[in-house]
Chain A
Amino acid sequence: MTSLKRSQDSRQYSYDWPWVTLLLGPGLFLLCLLILIPVIGTIITSTNRDITFMDGKWVGLSNYAELFKDTAFRQSLRFTISFIAVSVPLELLFGLGLSLLMNYKSSFRGIIRSLVLIPWAIPAVISGRIWELIYNVNYGLANYIIEQFGFEKINWLGTSSGAFWAIIIADLWKTIPFVAIILLAGLSSIPETLYQQAQIDGASFFRRFYSITLPLLRPVIVVALLFRTIDALRIFDLVFILTSGGPGGSTTSLSQLGFKYFVGGDFGYGSTLSVIIFLCALVLSLLVIKFGKFSQEAI
């Protein structure tokens, strides 16, 4: 067992600058080219009026001002926030349960682990289409099962609440395995002897989960939380396939809205939206990193 001693190690490295430039240079260059420049470019575009068939001119922050007054923006912001608030906790909860199942020593462990990854591996567009068929009001599998239990058909994609939950369920199906895999990595690193010791110390199953599993899983949970929150913020594929943002724009996510603007040729406005999404993701990441206590406890 290794221990991480918190020693202040302040050795001075002497750098070989030519080597540093040569080895890090290409990587940094690509990073700039593919990330830094587009981001800065988008920020610049957001301060312009950039519409296909009109002359471009600098408008400062008036795009932002207009956006905040825009009801479409407000609606999509509401939807995106609700989506994050519902899907992320549910993903974490069921993902945790699934990972515990996947960690349990049984003869089926290998099979379960392989099967579980399938939903996540299928491209979103394809699974989106499949779910579209499932949610079909008259011929879909979902309503068929519901009617077998004696309930009324649900107009999944035709009502705003139905569409909301349709997207949530389709998203959960895809992302719960992903969360489970991340958490499983953390679970496997908890030594079995800790649980044996806890058993002898008198802890019940739930006590062991609460006092050992959860605290030691915390860094991993934080990572999963961060990934999923940012992904949920940018949800696009499912919305595009299942509802195209409808009915009545009630399930338009921020990305979907941005997409509409770009397709419509309004690059300035679209860029503004992109920048806002970017800033939200940035703030979220910083918050989680600051308060998530990433430090890996040493044994």
Chain B
Amino acid sequence: MSLLNIVNLSKKFSTINRQVTALSSITLAVEEKEFFVLLGPSGCGKSTLLNLIAGLEQPSGGEISLGATIFSSRAKRIHIAPRDRNIAMVFQNYALYPHMNVAENIEFPLKIRGISKDKRVAMVLEAAQMLELDKVLQAKPGELSGGQRQRVAIARAIVRKPSLFLLDEPLSNLDAKLRASTRNNLKLLQKRLGITTIYVTHDQVEAMTLGDRIALLNNGHIEQIGTPQELYNNPVNHFVATFIGSPPMNLFTLNVTFNNNQYGFIVNGTKIELPDSLVKQIKKTTQTILLGVRPENIEIKPEPSKDSIEVTVTGIERLGRETIIYAVCESVSVSLISSNLVPQIGEKVTIVLDLFKAHVFEKPKSDVN
């Protein structure tokens, strides 16, 4: 039974001379206790979507409902104000009240609801201990570190056990190391408290590690919704394929050949056959396809073979555990991951593409990178 239901949601902003469509036909459902991630590049509309769920903005069309309660519906002329939705939100800059100390910040939502002083103190203490803030309860936000401020924002959000927990890129302002540990703690906290969470980020690593399911947005519409593994292994289009995974999937524009009842393509004079699993994805009339191969599915072979391609190395990135190698062949760039063989820049190496793990996509009407 899903908790949050969004049906055909759209949002348009009008200025004096033009209209901007921030979101169009957004339909998704979030399950109870799920950690749901809204992922996408800057400007894709994910923060707008979060604001609509929070009630800070009103939709231009469509409906948002939590359980049996409709939050917003233009058609039915319903809009419940943020304060009546029993939701909690953490903003990117934490929005801590600077004139109140940590304890007062955390108890603010409780105070507004008229909860008695004794109960408030107990609840604040419980939340503070969960986030290791019990030692700094008297400090003001200005005296805290970035990580501490973020924990105060989270404590303030969870203290009243809301139905929905919304987070807008909360880790962006933290340094890399703190981000990793906070990510972990956030996931543990969410599992422990069991609050349905919607998390906005542009970082696909965050999305993959935190999300039970991810909705990938682009230009105001949803590209794909699925578990991290589904998005990684079965991307529905080239956008999803190249957005998820780092370094991004290689995309090759290829002309399909059909000889001897065998589909294939030609690179550098070599003819490479396409396996049946890929052929199934190609429409009969297609001449040009986008072949997607992830860097980790390309191998450097010590010697040429039937399906190997010769490329020239143009760049090397050593990451310790593995090395990313950039190469070029017929002015097409390739990136691959190697854990053992590390060639020199300028060297010619032989690579083989694991086509059984490759994907085929439609070539889009506009040029793809």
Contacts and interface: CB of A to CB of B under 8 A. Distances in A.
Interface in B73-98: 81-83, 87-89, 91, 93, 95-98
Contacts of A26: none
B54 A200 contact: yes
A contact residues, range: 20 to 34
A4 interface: yes
B83 A297 contact: no
B176 interface: no
Contacts of B265: none
Contacts of B252: none
Given A1-B93, A212-B97, A201 B156 contact: yes
A196 B156 contact: no
B88 A297 contact: no
A203 B97 contact: no
A200 B83 CA distance: 5
A52 interface: no
B97 A207 contact: no
B51 to A, nearest CB: 8
A4 B97 CA distance: 15
A197 B89 contact: yes
Decide if the interface of chain B is mainly helix, strand, loop or mixed: mixed
Contacts of B88: 200-201
A197 B112 contact: no
A257 B56 CA distance: 58
Contact of A216 (B54, B98, B141): B98
A201 B108 contact: yes
Contacts of A199: 56, 81-83
Interface in A224-280: none
Contacts of A6: 143
A200 B89 contact: yes
A198 B99 CA distance: 14
B271 interface: no
Contact of B99 (A196, A204, A216): A216
B140 A297 contact: yes
B143 A193 contact: no
Nearest to A3: B142
Interface string A173-206: 0000000000000000001011011111111100
A193 to B, nearest CB: 4
B89 to A, nearest CB: 5
B16 to A, nearest CB: 9
Contacts of A3: 142-143
B142 A299 contact: yes
B81 A203 contact: no
B83 A201 contact: yes
A297 B104 CA distance: 15
Interface in B123-173: 140-143, 156
B95 A202 contact: no
A299 B112 contact: no
Contacts of B83: 199-204
Contacts of A212: 97
A212 B82 CA distance: 17
Contacts of B98: 216, 297-299
Interface of B: 54, 56, 81-83, 87-89, 91, 93, 95-99, 108-109, 112-113, 140-143, 156
8 contacts: A193-B91, A196-B95, A197-B89, A200-B83, A202-B83, A202-B113, A212-B97, A215-B99
Minimum-distance CB pairs A-B, first 9: A298-B142, A197-B95, A201-B109, A202-B112, A202-B83, A299-B98, A193-B95, A215-B99, A199-B82
